[in-house]
A and B are shown apart, each in its own frame.
Chain A
């Protein structure tokens, strides 16, 4: 037990009629952690969050928060509070009464109540908005009120269901930073649901990638990007070049792999791989270098032809077709292309330490 298992989700499944929304999920979340559930729509992340909130009850499995089993406890009796995707600000009462809403149930003096409401408003930088109504607030302001309304309850866990999804890009990026700072200062455990991988990566301590009701990998963001454990995660997080491959032999952590069009190489594996696994190898665009002439300093060098380039401000993406590989390889570079352009012949160099062996399932 202890702080590492502040939230303990054990073998939780949820079925809606025929559909399995959450499929035998087990994961522990530490106290004070900013934990994200990331996945495409319909992957079960929102259902899992609603199970934590107490809006859905698991068909199988257990949930405990701070060492007490909450599996059968309804939402109103749980030490969790939620920020809804559309904020769910009560339209018939003003901001102050919205924030007070949950405090009415706690037996506290009216001075303390006012104090806590003021503190909460200060925390989200909306002092002076007490008498406004929901329809007089902008999307960003509603989001802050929803946050204040939940945090004023001093929950053990704050649940956030895609709270930034409805904001425009610039405001969203501001709020990401603000939310992260807020979480650090209050020290409450955040469970954050999003389909936006960038958002999950920039904010979280750890990210759980979900697909089809299952958690595929739980890792800190950087690890998720650098060492994807399976094809879905590798493909979902950032861009990646995937090459068909076969395992030739395994010797402990050293795995000999025959990579389509590149040849046979011995690589380090980062997950447990057995002889029978179907694998691909993956290379991130930033790990491929391009030059107009051959060099001898790299592990792998292949010849190709540039098919397309696209310019993204600080980075340029280059697509290079290589004989024997169906899809052009994608690489990104921060430097100028030194006279290379579409249809130029070029050489790509890849270091063996940047090649990942990724299981197909």
Chain B
């Protein structure tokens, strides 16, 4: 038996590999896959009363989701806000990653550490500090009033979709800077020299060489920012107001005060589906674009 085991382990790489992977895979199956599956099943159930759930399978929760305008609206808004966050984050961090990759010669690591350090400090505190910056009696308003630039607080700063986008773009910056920097830094500098040598201007070189080669980083950043932000709860709750409310806030109340687990589960499933769908489209389009560019 012992000999058999030894032979099994030493001769079959897959057996050894899966023995090592098993804790991680068991974790993913028990703590992620099975809860998600159970949630999917629950979305076909009905909440009868406070404590009671009817487990006859029905599509009614999805009908509920689409018949009341608030759910599709919130879902659409969540996707729209995430899309804007992704776009704003990419546009604002690309020049920075580009600068670090191509112009910073010494202490590149220091730059990277400094740019990603805020990400590690409490997410809740970062969002919260935007609330106090943008707030009615917040830092900006009080500073402007103190300096005499305005007489009344600017009310449009907080409780808006813009505030949500701004806050999230700040909170997720590190997730864009890193993949962008990594893909830009990998580019062989002699390719750019070759491009100049072949008569391309700096601008043309960027569009025809640098940017296409940085696309893996761009795709990475898009997926890593877009998907989680669709489900963000803290930011809309703290700086979104009614205008900036997102689907996750609704899901929270369905699992909380409203106590309608099946409808909450259906909403979560819808969120997951649309996120996956958009992620697939993004990857597909970017691949097409990169093919055309090269």
Contacts and interface: CB of A to CB of B under 8 A. Distances in A.
Q: Do A and B interact directly, with beta carbons closer than 8 Å?
A: yes
A72 interface: yes
B7 interface: yes
Contacts of B11: 57, 72
A74 interface: yes
Nearest to A73: B10
B11 to A, nearest CB: 5
Interface size class of A (residues with CB under 8 A): under 10
A74 B7 CA distance: 9
Contacts of B6: 74
Contacts of A74: 6, 10
A299 to B, nearest CB: 56
Interface in B156-180: none
B9 to A, nearest CB: 9
A293 to B, nearest CB: 55
Interface string A45-84: 0000000000001000000000000001010000000000
Contacts of B7: 72
Interface string B3-14: 000110011000
Interface string A144-156: 0000000000000
Interface in B1-57: 6-7, 10-11
Nearest to B12: A57
A150 B7 CA distance: 26
A74 B11 CA distance: 9
B contact face: mostly helix, strand, loop, or mixed: helix
Contacts of A72: 7, 10-11
B180 to A, nearest CB: 33
A72 B5 CA distance: 12
Contacts of A57: 10-11
A72 B6 CA distance: 10
A72 B11 CA distance: 8
Nearest to A74: B10
Q: Residue among B6, B7, B10 with the most chain A CB within 10 A?
A: B10
A72 B10 CA distance: 9
A131 B6 CA distance: 37
Contacts of B10: 57, 72, 74
A72 B8 CA distance: 11
Nearest to B7: A72
B146 to A, nearest CB: 59
A54 to B, nearest CB: 9
Interface in B127-175: none
A72 B7 CA distance: 7
Interface in B215-274: none
B15 to A, nearest CB: 13
A135 B7 CA distance: 37
A344 to B, nearest CB: 45
A74 B16 CA distance: 14
Nearest to B6: A74
B161 to A, nearest CB: 52
Nearest to A57: B11
A117 to B, nearest CB: 30
A57 B11 CA distance: 7
A80 to B, nearest CB: 16
A279 to B, nearest CB: 43
A74 B12 CA distance: 12
Nearest to B10: A74
A38 B147 CA distance: 83
A41 B10 CA distance: 27
B6 to A, nearest CB: 8
A57 B15 CA distance: 15
B141 to A, nearest CB: 57
Nearest to B3: A72
A9 to B, nearest CB: 18
Interface string A285-328: 00000000000000000000000000000000000000000000
7 contacts: A57-B10, A57-B11, A72-B7, A72-B10, A72-B11, A74-B6, A74-B10
* Closest A-B pairs by Cβ, 3 of them: A74-B10, A57-B11, A72-B7
